[in-house]
Amino acid sequence: MARRQQTRGKCVYCGREMTRGGLARHLSTCAGRQAAVEAADQKPGKEQTMYHLQVQDAWGGTYWLHLEMQGTATLEELDHYLRAIWLECCGHLSSFSIGPYRYTQLFDDGLGMDDDRAMNVQVRRLFRPGMAIPYEYDFGTTSELMIQVVDKREGRPTTPHPIALMARNDPPEIVCMECGQPAAYLCVECMYETDESGALCETHAGEHPHDNYGEPMPVVNSPRIGMCGYEGPAEPPY
């Protein structure tokens, strides 16, 4: 269904619309972004390494983000951002896998394995362009992401926040399996127990039987759509 779509999204700086890969290239030369960087570099403060990250759902790539992250920010702050924009539903555990180590909250709780580390490490100590970093949220009904370190620059951040959103996929087109109109809900029972997409418009959601998995869940612009108790709203935290 929608996960196989090649979604498009808009550059935050200039509004140009293109695919995930097109934006990865565009952001390196975008005049609007360059103007924002030049304005930031005129302000007081220390320069630091800034990282361009591309985040996507690990299996389909339908859902994606382009972020700029300060090198002095931590994995914990990136974890909080991903939860806020895409994932948080029930306070589940999460982890980043980098090299031989897994960075997770289990370390702080004293429950981690020998290769677990804490998330409160600055990313400048870990990130290198070209890295691909697996991330998991919820070790039961797991949402798997892949974080690519696309590039880096030296300079000042363009916002006061540790992470800036540079681009995000537009919501994929999901249509009602009954009538073809835009879908507003997903029947999880149909998704997992039949060959149907489970997508339902407002009208057909009200008429649809759903005995074993509860009420239909709302369609949201997130790779956690239809999983666990996730209902969005999947909005940027800043």
Query: Does the residue 234 lie in any domain?
Result: no
Dist. CA 57–CA 169, nearest whole Å: 11
Q: What are phi and psi of 34, to 5 degrees?
A: -60, -40
Query: Does the residue 58 lie in any domain?
Result: yes
Quick one: pLDDT at residue 234? 84
Note whether 82 and 196 are same-domain residues. Answer: no
Q: What is the mean pLDDT of the chain?
A: 92
Residue reference for tokens 């540790």: 162
Q: Kind of pairing, strands 48-57 and 143-155?
A: antiparallel
Note whether 44 and 85 are same-domain residues. Answer: yes
pLDDT in tens, 176-214: 999 999 999 999 889 888 888 899 999 999 888 777 777
Q: How confident is the model at residue 94 (pLDDT cuts 50, 70, 90)?
A: very high
Query: Does the residue 146 lie in any domain?
Result: yes
Domain that holds residue 42: 2-169
Note whether 75 and 193 are same-domain residues. Answer: no
Distances 138 to 23, 94, 108, 204, 222 between C-alpha atoms, Å: 29, 6, 17, 31, 15
Dist. CA 50–CA 67, nearest whole Å: 10
DSSP H or E run through 6: none
pLDDT at residue 40 is higher than 50: yes
